[in-house]
């Protein structure tokens, strides 16, 4: 059993036995190098519950642990820090349990448990995916994999925003300026083609606004009365009325976009179990509003619009139904949430959405709570910061976004240029080289984004992310490839446990880090933070490289040590591959 599971139980028993106080949470940390020990219990937080001298309390707990846990061989107390010495046998046993466990660190879901639904991506069908979508997709997909590895069933989903005025703008611009252009005739991915017409609409719209102002209109009136905007609004009304021609155009252009998205998702390595479409969900929630009116949760104003007053909860008043009876986004969102809990056996729903929507989700979750849905307490907003580039912010309608496909292509090209410069690929075929460039380029992109806490804003520099040194994806990939090279050269059987005595200090440090993998997965799942996995992996790689540089492995003259060190390298490689899998990153066998 890992230390992080065994020690808290024993410390709890020690405190209950000597102080008649029941405690379950304790602060442990690695023992500082200048002191003797492997793991340290910080005693000071206990003083809130136990009266006494921290040094004496530490001595009492240490003596209890040494007497009751056979793997505690000694202890010492330094100014309220209880340093525990762990036996080498504990680490040997722990290592072989990890080594012989398939998919060490991963747990299997109980088939009877309810699932966790994770929503991410949720793009508009009027433009291609961009850098912001990349962070969204990588976060959502990775969180889903991490939660699954922690022992939960997971359903990955998105809601595609396929209706509304922004969609009609692209459709109208294509009608006016497209001359029948298609993805096939233009050679463009469908999402890029449609996105181009969204930009063309904005360009034509700005020209008409300028003309209106020149004709004496105020800017506000010029914007409202621009003929092309009025045409787009009329097209939306026709779509809502089911006009055959408009619906046919809408289906055709949306399919172009879906086909384009599919390529990007496949390249990025993300997928979904179920898609929801706004065109099918935008009316959901209206019946709930009527129920809420009857219960007094919502109220109606004189103009017929329906609102909810959240001022006593520290928020504001929120409209949930317009005066003309049409739904707003909030209505659609709580309707869709209710539908998802009807459609699937889930008890938790996580929304991966940028932090500019923090307030929206506070309101959404509160409305669902007031409507009486018990599962509303298990709704979470995975809020993340925006992604900036050295060149500044992105604007879709002006065509200045960083296109996802273009960025991915740039990352792969940069990986190619650096790899060719290093010149270690002579034995690779052309196909193998291209696969390696893709693995390195995408690994660099994904790791750079996921190693940052989701709540933080990112300044993304493509060149900085592809570095074979430091806290980068390629550095970790290179270490994995180095381990695979060792395993290929090991011309002996290393499948059976061996005993080395004494245990090398660098090997012990590696085992300590490996022990933390399962707990890191659990923490990353609870905090919905792939950054915890990324930074754990980097720490493991740093420890392994120190081990590799100071301890002879294949050149070891001691046959037993040679076997053990290869086994240790093998387990490190397996954990690196598993942890990178949780981040959606591939690892190369050679590099």
Residue 262 CA to residue 273 CA, distance in Å, equals 13
Is residue 399 predicted with pLDDT exceeding 60?
A: no
SS3 content of the chain, % helix, strand, coil (to 5): 55, 15, 30
**Average pLDDT, integer, range 332-336:** 94
Q: Are 583 and 534 in contact (CB under 8 A)?
A: yes
pLDDT in tens, 226-243: 999 999 999 999 999 999
Tokens of 581: 């899998």
* 542 burial via Cβ count (<10 Å: 0-12, 13-18, 19+): middle
Write the DSSP string, 537-566. HHHHHHHHHHHHHHS-STT-S-HHHHHHHH
pLDDT in tens, 60-77: 999 999 999 999 999 999
Residue 395 pLDDT class (50, 70, 90 cuts): very low
> CA of 494: how far to CAs of 88, 504, 513, 563, 578, in Å?
21, 18, 21, 5, 21
Residue 372 CA to residue 52 CA, distance in Å, equals 48
Tokens of 569: 């390298």
Return the pLDDT at 535. 96
Return the pLDDT at 397. 43
Q: Are 118 and 533 in contact (CB under 8 A)?
A: no
Is residue 348 predicted with pLDDT exceeding 80?
A: yes
Residue 86 CA to residue 561 CA, distance in Å, equals 21
Return the pLDDT at 84. 96
Q: Are β-strands 115-119 and 153-160 bridged in parallel, bridged antiparallel, or unpaired?
A: parallel
Q: Are 43 and 81 in contact (CB under 8 A)?
A: yes
In sign, the C-alpha dihedral spanning 484, 489, 491, 494 is negative
Is residue 400 predicted with pLDDT exceeding 60?
A: no
DSSP class of 107: B
Phi, psi of 563 (to 5 degrees): -60, -45
Does a cis peptide bond (omega within 30 degrees of 0) precede residue 56?
Answer: no
CB contact burial 422-431 (16+ within 10 A = b; e otherwise):
eeebeeeeee
Tokens of 150: 């922690």
Task: Map out the domains of the chain with their CATH numbers.
Answer: 3-86 (3.30.1360.70), 164-279 (no CATH)
Return the pLDDT at 391. 62
Return the pLDDT at 4. 66
Tokens of 461: 């520099």
Residue 359 CA to residue 366 CA, distance in Å, equals 11
Return the pLDDT at 393. 47
CB contact burial 554-584 (16+ within 10 A = b; e otherwise):
eeeeeeebbbbbbbbbbbbbbbbebbbbbbb
Phi, psi of 391 (to 5 degrees): -85, -10
Q: Are 85 and 69 in contact (CB under 8 A)?
A: no
What is the percent of the chain with per-residue pLDDT over 70, rounded to a whole number?
97
At residue 537's C-alpha, the angle toward residues 105 and 381, to 5°, is: 80
Residue 385 CA to residue 454 CA, distance in Å, equals 6
**Average pLDDT, integer, range 382-409:** 73
Residue 396 pLDDT class (50, 70, 90 cuts): very low
Return the pLDDT at 394. 41
Look up tokens 């270490």; give the residue. Answer: 479
- Which helix (H) or strand (E) segment holds residue 84: the answer is strand 81-86
Q: Are 437 and 419 in contact (CB under 8 A)?
A: yes
Return the pLDDT at 6. 83
DSSP-H helix ranges across 100-225:
131-149, 165-177, 183-186, 190-214, 219-225
Residue 466 neighbours by CB distance under 10 Å: 24
What average pLDDT is seen over the chain?
93
pLDDT in tens, 461-518: 777 788 778 899 999 999 999 999 999 999 999 999 888 888 999 999 999 999 999 9
- Give the bridge partners for 155, in sequence order: 117
Q: What is the dihedral of CA 108, 111, 116, 117, to 10 degrees?
A: 110
3-state helix/strand/coil string of 21-34: CCCCCCCEEECCCC
Is residue 11 predicted with pLDDT exceeding 50?
A: yes
Is residue 398 predicted with pLDDT exceeding 50?
A: no
Residue 2 pLDDT class (50, 70, 90 cuts): low
- Which helix (H) or strand (E) segment holds residue 346: the answer is strand 346-354
**Average pLDDT, integer, range 137-162:** 97
Give the three-state DSSP class for 95: helix
């Amino acid at each position: 059993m890992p230390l992080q599971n065994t020690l808290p139980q024993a410390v709890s028993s020690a405190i209950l036995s000597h102080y008649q106080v029941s405690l379950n949470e304790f602060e442990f940390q690695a023992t500082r190098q200048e002191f003797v020990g492997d793991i340290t219990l910080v005693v000071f937080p206990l003083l809130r519950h136990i009266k006494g001298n921290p040094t004496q309390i530490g001595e009492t707990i240490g003596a209890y642990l040494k007497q009751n846990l056979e793997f505690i061989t000694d202890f010492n107390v330094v100014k309220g820090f209880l340093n525990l010495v762990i036996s080498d046998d504990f680490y040997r046993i722990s290592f072989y349990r990890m080594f012989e466990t398939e998919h060490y660190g991963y747990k299997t879901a109980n088939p009877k448990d309810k699932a966790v639904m994770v929503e991410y991506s949720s793009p508009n069908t009027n433009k291609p995916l961009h850098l912001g979508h990349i962070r969204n997709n990588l976060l959502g997909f990775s969180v889903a994999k991490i939660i699954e590895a922690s022992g939960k069933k997971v359903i990955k989903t998105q809601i595609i925003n396929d209706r509304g005025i922004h969609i009609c703008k692209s459709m109208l611009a294509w009608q006016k300026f497209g001359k029948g252009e298609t993805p096939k005739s233009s050679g463009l991915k469908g999402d890029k083609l449609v996105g181009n017409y969204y930009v063309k609409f904005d360009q034509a719209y700005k020209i008409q606004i300028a003309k209106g102002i020149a004709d004496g209109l105020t800017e506000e009136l010029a914007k409202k009365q621009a003929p092309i905007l009025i045409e787009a609004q009329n097209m939306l009304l026709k779509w809502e009325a089911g006009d055959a021609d408009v619906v046919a155009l809408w289906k055709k252009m949306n399919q172009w976009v879906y086909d384009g998205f599919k390529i990007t998702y496949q390249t990025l390595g993300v997928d979904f179990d179920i898609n929801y479409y706004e065109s099918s969900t935008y009316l959901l929630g209206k019946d709930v509003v009527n129920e809420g009116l009857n219960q007094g949760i919502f109220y109606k104003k004189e103009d017929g619009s329906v609102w909810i007053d959240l001022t006593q909860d520290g928020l504001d008043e929120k409209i949930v139904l317009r005066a003309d009876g049409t739904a707003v986004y909030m209505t659609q969102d709580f309707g869709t949430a209710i539908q998802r809990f009807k459609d699937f056996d889930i008890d938790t729903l996580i929304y991966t959405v940028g932090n500019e929507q923090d307030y929206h989700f506070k309101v959404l979750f509160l409305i669902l709570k007031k409507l009486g849905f018990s599962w509303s307490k298990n709704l979470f907003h995975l809020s993340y910061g925006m992604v900036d580039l050295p060149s500044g912010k992105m604007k879709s309608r002006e065509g200045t976004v960083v296109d996802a496909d273009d960025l991915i292509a740039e990352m792969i090209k940069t990986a190619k240029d650096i790899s060719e410069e290093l010149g270690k690929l002579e034995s690779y075929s052309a196909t193998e080289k291209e696969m390696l460039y893709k693995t390195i380029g995408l690994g660099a992109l994904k790791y750079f984004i996921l190693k940052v806490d989701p709540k933080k804003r990112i300044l993304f520099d493509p060149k900085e992310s592809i570095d074979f040194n430091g806290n980068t994806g390629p550095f970790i990939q290179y270490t994995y490839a180095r381990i695979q090279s060792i395993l290929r050269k090991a011309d002996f059987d290393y499948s059976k446990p061996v005993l080395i005595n004494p245990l090398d200090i660098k090997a012990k440090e590696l085992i300590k880090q490996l022990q933390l993998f399962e707990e890191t997965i659990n923490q990353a799942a609870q905090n919905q933070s792939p950054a915890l996995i990324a930074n754990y992996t980097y720490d493991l790689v740093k420890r392994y490289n120190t081990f590799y540089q100071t301890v002879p492995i294949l050149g070891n003259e001691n046959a037993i040590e040679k076997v053990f060190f290869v086994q240790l390298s093998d387990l490190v490689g397996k954990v690196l591959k598993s942890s990178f899998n949780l981040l959606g990153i591939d690892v190369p066998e050679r590099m």
